[in-house]
């Protein structure tokens, strides 16, 4: 299973998500406060992830320690009440 740091951050915030894996890359899709978010992992000579967690309407690529960067951003979001 891939993207475990991000999955843990989503679990901690009680945000339900859908996980899929294809060609060894993980993919997370989830809703938060009425907006749709994604984290799509890729490996094009370097590992990274495309995500819109920083701005719901705009995707960007994060490389390097992308799981830590994305998980840290999600953990700044308000907690879900249920």
The residues spanned by each domain of the chain are 4-75
**Lookup result for tokens 């859908």:** 18
Give tens-digit pLDDT for 5-20. Answer: 999 999 999 999 999 9
pLDDT of amino acid 82: 61
pLDDT of amino acid 79: 85
CA–CA distances in Å: residue 55 to residues 7, 12, 18, 49: 19, 21, 20, 15
71 pLDDT band, cuts 50/70/90, is very high
Give tens-digit pLDDT for 23-65. Answer: 999 999 999 999 999 999 999 899 999 999 999 899 999 999 9
**Lookup result for tokens 């339900």:** 16
């Amino acid at each position: 299973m891939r993207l475990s740091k991000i999955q843990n951050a989503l679990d901690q915030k009680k945000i339900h998500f859908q996980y899929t894996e294809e060609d060894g890359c993980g993919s997370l899709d989830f809703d938060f406060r009425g907006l749709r978010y994604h984290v799509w992992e890729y490996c094009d000579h370097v590992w990274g992830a495309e995500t819109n967690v920083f701005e719901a309407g705009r995707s960007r690529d994060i490389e390097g320690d992308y799981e830590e960067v994305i998980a840290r951003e999600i953990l700044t979001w308000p907690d879900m009440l249920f």
